Structure 1
Amino acid sequence: MILYGSCAALDDDGVLLLGPSGSGKSDLLLRLLDRGFSLVSDDQVSIEGEFASAPPSLLGIIELRGLGLFKVPATRIARLRLAVQLGNEQDRLPFPKRNAELNVPEIFIDPRLDSAPIKVQWALDTIAGRREQVCGCFVS
């Protein structure tokens, strides 16, 4: 299936950024790349089972609104571990939620916040066992 979104990976752990056009997916993706993530796909993401990749025509390309398209090194495939819905953050201490279509943990992030890429990385680190959470969206 092809989804409209962007995907970054840390090691082989993929994060899918979802939201309407103009919501800040590519901008947050750029900030994740600046934090050491690698590009999987921008604009459209191919999902097969639990794996995310770029459609062949988009491999290694990111759009920076107002600047154009850029070629960057890319990860060909990543295991999808987290879905991030862009918009207003929800609850202060949210309950665990899963994306029904993808069956992966899902969080809500306001991409305009300076802390957005840090929150995405901490969420992914928690799912991957590199960080421990005591209360919130990953603790039942």
Structure 2
Amino acid sequence: MERIHATCVLIKGKGVLLRGKPGSGKSDLALRLMDDGAGLVADDYTELSTQDGILYANAPTAIEGLLEVRGVGILRVGCVPRAPVTAIFDLVPLAEIERLPGAQTESIEGIDIPSFRLHGFDASAPAKVRMTLKALKENLFQST
């Protein structure tokens, strides 16, 4: 089992890892996704494990069901016990995002996961996450 600095949410059965430096918007983006129906898996630290060729995420026991809401505090919000990781979103400054990036994957514990870069505080960030999941499911990516 590997523990990483990331937040994870579950959207329609698909686990989404949100990675980034402190203050990059991981918890904020998770909160906005949860406001639209996503379930929290883990906030700030996520444990990863594999089973039958699938990468799974869950919360460390000590922080299970807790979400940091900046300016408010740490809230008990409940959580989804485990999620299959479908995509990784690295939250970076706006200047570091390519307009039309090529397909990217990252191998974690021997499993290739599609990865993307977003500015976590963009108003459209939750919609971009949801649209990306739809594009992955329906193979909607157009090569440039």
TM-score clears 0.5: yes
With normalisation by structure 1, the TM-score equals 0.89
Q: Hey, what does 2:65 align to over in structure 1?
A: 60
With normalisation by structure 2, the TM-score equals 0.87
With 20-29 and 94-103 compared, the bigger mean Cα shift is at 94-103
Which consecutive residues of structure 1, in runs of 5 or more, have no partner in the other structure? none
Corresponding residue SS for 1:103: strand
Aligned partners of 2:43 and 2:59 also within 8 Å = yes
Aligned partners of 1:46 and 1:53 also within 8 Å = yes
Work out whether 1:2 is the aligned partner of 2:3: yes
- Cα distance in structure 1, aligned partners of 2:28 and 2:86: 20
Q: Percent identity?
A: 33
- Cα distance in structure 2, aligned partners of 1:15 and 1:103: 14
- Cα distance in structure 2, aligned partners of 1:12 and 1:76: 12
With 97-106 and 8-17 compared, the bigger mean Cα shift is at 97-106
Q: Hey, what does 2:126 align to over in structure 1?
A: 117
- Cα distance in structure 1, aligned partners of 2:141 and 2:73: 42
Q: Hey, what does 2:45 align to over in structure 1?
A: 44
Give 2:59's aligned amino acid. A
Aligned length: 135
Work out whether 1:99 is the aligned partner of 2:100: no
- Cα distance in structure 1, aligned partners of 2:61 and 2:32: 23
- What are the Cα deviations for residues 68-120 of structure 1, in whole angstroms up to 9, with x where unaligned? 11111311000000000001352222211012336200000011210001001
Corresponding residue SS for 2:101: coil
Give 2:123's aligned amino acid. D
Work out whether 1:69 is the aligned partner of 2:78: no
With 98-107 and 3-12 compared, the bigger mean Cα shift is at 98-107
Q: Hey, what does 1:25 align to over in structure 2?
A: 26
Which consecutive residues of structure 2, in runs of 5 or more, have no partner in the other structure? none
Provide the aligned C-alpha RMSD in A. Answer: 1.6
Misfit runs of 4+, over 6 Å: none
Point out the structure with the larger strand share. Answer: 2
Q: By how many angstroms is 1:134 displaced?
A: 4.2
